[in-house]
Chain A
Amino acid sequence: MLKSCLLALLLWLTLQMPVARAAEMPASAKAQHLLNRLSFGAKPGDLEQVNTMGIEAYIQQQLDPSLAEPSLLTAKLEPLETLHLTPYQLLLDYSPSLQIRQFRQQGLGSISQEQLNAVNAKAQVVLQQATQAKLWRAIDSPHQLQEVMVDFWYNHFNVFGHAGNSRIWVGAYEQQAIRPHVLGQFRDLLGATAHHPAMLDYLDNWLNTAPESPGARPPLNGLNENYARELMELHTLGVEGGYSQADVEALARILTGWSYCGIAIRESNREASNREIPDNGFCFAPRRHDLREKLFLGQKIPADGMAAGVAEGERALDILAEHPATAKFISYKLAQYFVADEPPAQLVNRLAQQFRATDGNILAVLQTLFKSPEFWDETVLNAKFKTPYQFAISAIRAADLEPSNLNPVLGLMRQLGMPVYGCETPDGYKNTEAAWLSPDAMLRRVNWATALASGRLLASPATAPANPADPSLSAAPVDGQKLLTTLGGSVSPKTRQVIANRRDPLRSALILGAPEFMYR
């Protein structure tokens, strides 16, 4: 009792303390700031809309998870047929390794290079469609905060999508495990990623096997602690979250047998063949589960037989999601993404309190964040350096382009070291200035802005090589005057001065390539 009184007093004192640098940004800049942080940047009309509906109403609209996708966008995504497939369907129809194996099993001899290319090209289609959908949504969706949160959470729960079966799964992973939960409960998001074949494959947990269990056989001979470690270090507690190597091993044991359908079914016993395949593609392999009692983060997970393996894992995810270190770690990352590279500790603490008070309700945490004085502090205005992805999407949005060819966007992402779905390491892409600002990147951004301003860059169809006679190549340059209206006060006086006597496309190139447009 005394302790909680003291805590309450401390809290009260903290809240009463004057916030350093408490100057609020000018009212005229607020709408721009909001669009910079809650969306991938203003499209024509956005600024007007926020000014008309008001700051608070815009925030609430963006936080409303029921906001529907416009029919035009839905229609555009419709032909991307692989977006609607479950991981198991994708595995059966598109997995290169599975097809190569089937080919061999059918006794058709060795696979030719041509056939191998065809198998790989088929898998590549799935990745292309996923990439297309991701970019189109980021560019076009009016539910911008959701797209921004997809970017945030995908990187938090990153899966490298350019190798093996990941190519066929990252799209489904984003669609099924990330997207539905970006504003929901953290525990649901954590659970969905933990069960998804893309994650099980990427961080090797599908191989994680209790040594000498009845299901153990090469190459599934024993523990693999890769996922268990990153689950704590990167997804929940953070590296300073207070876990030990013993906890890593305990968690790896708890998660033995967590696998995906296909592999789990083949190795399971006879009744497996008519087992129902869940939509998320998760299949548990009980015969590979560790039967011992585990001690995980100080809590006993009793030995309860093979079948209890799923429940043990769920229990571990509960423990992790409820852990105070997780609340802190997630809050830090959200504050870093939305406020500043080095977010104020007081803000992080308040967000963590809200996280714990709401059992990890992401929407509630964001409500607190967007209301916080730190979010509206004038020092954070236009002070976050855009990642290459944010830069490209914001330029396309500001220029109001309808890309029919996304290859120049993907090319820029590769050049700038941020290929889409291409972060090899599980920590995902960072969103800080230190990570992305380099001399070479500055030249490439300016160069790309100049190409984009011509109006032609994304206009030609991806399939045909550039042909001067192509009518789409006569696309009008980006309208600099319109850009100035779209971006409002965020275009600096210096830029305005330099563009004063210049015409499009150089004028629009200068606006999109100006220093202030590198920031959000």
Chain B
Amino acid sequence: MIKRRALLKFAGLGLAAQTMAVGQYSWAVRPAQSASQRSAQTQQTGKRLIVVFLRGGIDGLNVVAPYQEDRYYQLRPTIAVPRPAQTGGLLKLDERFGLHPALAPILPLWQQGSLAFVQACGSPVLTRSHFDAQDYFETGEPGFHNTEGWMNRLLATSADVSPIEAATIGATIPKILAGDQPVANLPPGPNPLQPMALDRLPIAQAFDQIYGGDDALSQLYREAKATRATLRATFAADHEELANNGAPLPVTFAVDAAKLAQLMKRQPAVHLGFMALGGWDTHVEQGSSAGRLATLLGYLGEGLATLKQELGALYAETVVVVMSEFGRTLHENGNGGTDHGYGNVLWLLGGAVKGGKVYGDWTDLDRLENPRELPVHTDFRDPLRLALQRHLGLSERELAAVFPGHRMTQKLDLL
């Protein structure tokens, strides 16, 4: 049984509140409650956080590769990415690391100083299970099996509860957003607003009666209708364009990134966003500068560049975190792929990021105690905590609620 959800309050959701007010059923349209100063400030300044989760364990060692180390090339005879300036070579980031060439679309962000990486980052509790490791990243409490995600706890720290303060692209609510606070999920793909039977008044009225109660399903139903009304209002003007006439983006991820960016831009209440991209579990023939991993990175790079472009001026007020449950083995396996490892690279993008730098402690590959995988020098919650603290302005007490028991392991000055 799900817990009783936090009641909807339509503060800060002018459009939706207007739309919903015409319904004659039991909408809990409430006046804005005394929003905390910080929350009001957040809305004014429009600070946003977007998390992109790469499910399957991306091979971070080929994303931000230590090209100065011979060991990297010895361990990966067929999949290492060539040194910068060679054919298909890495894009030089600094004297130590290079970026996978398929990520060329986001290299300008590095050069402009709004893209940073944290190497050898991950969960302090080791697991090589995708599902446990993703759980740890999503609950924010490594080693425990909770049902509540840290982004939902983050929502709870802001005073307004509207169904559309946090938006995720996808048919289901990922664990990172699961919990008492309402979260809107937008269907993936180009046309989120296809006509529905529920758009017809007699049908809607009948179902509104059936879903008029206090139970969890009824609340979700009402949240969903409010979200749909908001989306319709938000995208009314360019609905057609979104649907089919606009320049179609070849990759769903970029389409969805554009959709999320537009929603956040037009609806100041939406300050948290989430997207996931799968397919990173490259046990076989992952390739080097070209191949399976490169193709996926191409989609990702294009999606992130689209996100930045569509956010426009709001990019300056946004922090985008890209993370994945674990890294992969240092050595390539017998089939031109890599198996489950440990430490990985975490990415940060956005105007507030002190970019152009690879953060985090690093041990040369030939000096590692465990030659199988990268260690975790930096707890993944370190950069997240900083984003919450310095970017969203959470207090120590609120931070403790979002990441209970977490203490900074590294001194990072990345925001």
Contact = CB atoms under 8 A, between A and B. Distances in A.
A233 B129 contact: yes
A221 B334 CA distance: 4
Contact of B220 (A383, A435, A437): A437
A506 B202 contact: yes
Contact of A219 (B132, B183, B284): B284
Given A207-B284, A513-B207, A441 B335 contact: no
Contact of B335 (A224, A229, A248, A510): A224
Interface in B218-259: 218, 220-221, 223-225, 227-228
A443 B283 contact: no
Contacts of A441: 171-172, 185
Contacts of A245: 128
Contact of A224 (B1, B172, B339): B339
Contacts of A438: 171-173, 185, 220
A219 B210 contact: no
Contacts of A308: none
A251 to B, nearest CB: 13
A446 B207 contact: yes
Contacts of B333: 222-225
Contacts of B284: 204, 207, 219, 224
Contacts of B228: 443
A424 B224 contact: no
A424 B278 contact: yes
B149 to A, nearest CB: 10
Nearest to B219: A439
Nearest to A388: B171
A102 B218 CA distance: 57
A510 B207 contact: yes
A495 B339 contact: no
Contact of B198 (A424, A439, A447): A447
Nearest to B213: A494
A219 B218 contact: no
A442 B224 contact: yes
Interface string A191-232: 000000000000010011101000010111111111001000
Interface string A234-256: 00000100000100100000000
Interface in B272-314: 278-279, 281, 283-285
Contact of A415 (B55, B171, B283, B334): B171
Given A207-B284, A239-B132, A439 B171 contact: no
A495 B210 contact: yes
Interface string B119-151: 000000001111110000000000000010000
A427 interface: yes
B197 interface: yes
B2 A437 contact: yes
A226 B339 contact: yes
Contacts of B336: 218-219, 221
A225 B339 contact: yes
B186 A440 contact: yes
Given A424-B278, A509-B203, A239 B210 contact: no
Contacts of A424: 278-279
13 contacts: A225-B340, A417-B170, A424-B278, A439-B224, A441-B185, A443-B225, A450-B198, A506-B202, A506-B206, A509-B197, A509-B203, A509-B206, A515-B211
List 3 tightest A-B contacts by C-beta distance, closest first: A222-B334, A417-B171, A439-B224
